Amino acid sequence: MQPPLWRQLQLTAVALASIRAGTSGSVAFEAVEPVLRPGVQALGFQVLRWLGRAEALRRHLAKRTPPPLPDALLCTALALAWDAERAPYEPFTLVDQAVEAAKRNPATRAQASFINACLRRFLRERDELVGATDSEPVAQWNHPRWWIERLKRDHPREWQRVLGADNAQAPMTLRVNVQKSTAASYLVELEAAGLGATRVGPSGLQLTRARPVQQLPGFADGACSVQDAAAQMAAPLLLEGLLPAKPGAAVPLRVLDACAAPGGKTAHLLEMATPGAIDVTALEVDAARSRRIDETLARLGLSAKVLVADAGRPAQWWDGTPFDAILLDAPCTASGIVRRHPDVRWLRRESDTAQLAAQQAALLAALWPLVRRGGRLLYCTCSVFREEGSQQIDAFLVHNTDARLLPSPGHLLPQSGSNARGVPDNPSGDHDGFFYALLEKRPH
């Protein structure tokens, strides 16, 4: 049976309060019991996408900020109801059920009358209240002010499109395992199962509608993986021209995936090569996340050397033999994937960018000596901020004269819906924001 809406709103508010306290959205929604989790997460994602507007409306409705949980419930209702066209339920129903949610929870019961008064006033004065918040940038764009200002500086001609794309729902994109099938063949299998999809990139398929992976033909047997179209560019960029033209090469290509969890790019590297043509080492500093690499490879029928180790400290794990190719998908603000993780924008602080940029620079400095002469390092981040992308690479090239930048995509800005087709810098349709720089170590 469908759980009552008031219960879903209660749990959504609890998750929002947890995220506001610093918990990641993944952890907050994982705490919801499985039978209720899909509905609560869907509501929670919508709340997080419109939280800037909701908080602005709440400031107009309440002179003082309520305690954390009642405030989270009030903002949950406002985020879901403020725009009737986007609302998952009729605004009146959302208000009624939010008040019911407040009454049924001892932690919010004392605030039920206050929440009721605020929301009833919102229903009466909706147009005036929304109009009063239209001029507030955080309410208009639903991102922190510092984030908006940084995008304006970094992408002065595109910042509005990026913010608009961030608030769209991301599609579900698959990467077909070319060891087992082709994109064209798997597309036929999807259509036979009643699942619509379109081609994106050499081995990608974007589903018309997201589905549980259990409904995908052959998923359990490794026929495909879920991976955004921009992320699917990593392995081809790194390996193009390096792999032997035919199987049976005397010495396999030595490849390092330096920050590998959960293993999607590691698997893609292995899928692109014939058996025995590539020797991949995958590093992950966190033991729990490292196990996800093993699980990913096992499902796909692939094998790599998986190490729990810090990529920034090669002395602890490197055997001294240079690598032909290194993939450094560096830790970053994740500012390019907020469509999929709408909590990120509210969790990040302005100071995080500089701290992460320093970590990225340290990883580049530690790993570059491990690349053989004539070898490559692909630096990438799922960020749209230039400090983590073009500025990082410009500084690296100044200090490493033995490196040259090969043709690379650079900053790929997120594309959503109708904006995703026919854009010159967008060969793979709808995708997240990413940065790619392919570096070659000069042979001499």
For the segment 277-297, the average pLDDT, to the nearest whole number, is: 95
Whether pLDDT at 118 is above 80: yes
Q: 288-306: buried (b, 16+ CB within 10 Å) or exposed (e) per residue?
A: eebbbbeebbebbebebeb
Tens digit of each residue's pLDDT (9 = 90 or more) over 137-184: 999 999 999 999 999 999 999 999 999 999 999 999 999 999 999 999
Token pair in block for residue 388: 């983590």
Q: Binning pLDDT at 50, 70 and 90, where does residue 444 land?
A: confident
Q: Report helix angle 68-81 to 5-20, nearest 10.
A: 120
CB atoms within 10 A of CB 212: 9
Mean pLDDT within 222-232: 96
239-286, pLDDT tens digit by residue?
998 887 555 567 899 999 999 999 999 999 999 998 889 999 999 999
Question: Sign of dihedral through CA atoms 136, 137, 141, 145?
Answer: negative
Query: What is the mean pLDDT of the segment spanning 293-314?
Result: 97
- Position 418 scores a pLDDT of 43
C-alpha closest to that of 220 among 302, 300, 304: 300
Mean pLDDT of 113-117: 97
Lowest model confidence (mean pLDDT) among 150-154, 291-295, 408-412, 424-428? 424-428
Phi, psi of 225 (to 5 degrees): -135, 160
- Confidence band (pLDDT; 50, 70, 90) for 420? very low
Q: pLDDT value at position 243?
A: 82
Q: Considering just the CA atoms, what is the radius of gyration of the chain in Å? A: 24
pTM for this predicted structure: 0.93
Burial of 42 (0-12, 13-18, 19+ CB in 10 A): middle
**Amino acid 247: pLDDT:** 56
- The answer to whether residues 254 and 324 touch, using CB atoms and an 8 Å cutoff, is yes
User: What pLDDT is attached to residue 161?
Assistant: 95
**Residues involved in catalysis:** 382
Q: Is the pLDDT of residue 426 over 50?
A: no
Q: How many CB atoms lie within 10 A of CB 98?
A: 29
The whole-number pLDDT of residue 2 equals 82
Going by C-alpha positions, the residue among 67, 60, 68, 65 that lies closest to residue 119 is 60
CA distances from 83 to 58, 90, 91, 141 (A): 15, 10, 8, 14
Cβ–Cβ < 8 Å for 388, 357: yes
Q: What is the pLDDT of residue 427?
A: 47
Instruction: Check residue 422 and give its pLDDT.
Output: 37
Structural domains of the chain ordered from first start: 5-140 (1.10.940.10), 173-226 (3.30.70.1170), 231-441 (3.40.50.150)
User: What type of residue is 193?
Assistant: A
- Residue 203: pLDDT above 90? yes
pLDDT tens, position by position, 34-71: 999 999 999 999 999 999 999 999 999 998 999 999 99
316-334 pLDDT, tens digit per residue, is: 999 999 999 999 999 999 9
User: Mean pLDDT across the stretch 232-245?
Assistant: 89
The per-residue pLDDT for 216 is: 97
Greater confidence (174 vs 423) lies with 174
Which region among 238-247, 415-424, 428-437 has the lowest average model confidence (pLDDT)?
A: 415-424
Residue 425: predicted pLDDT:
41
> What's residue 342's pLDDT?
97
pLDDT band of residue 424 (cuts 50, 70, 90) is very low
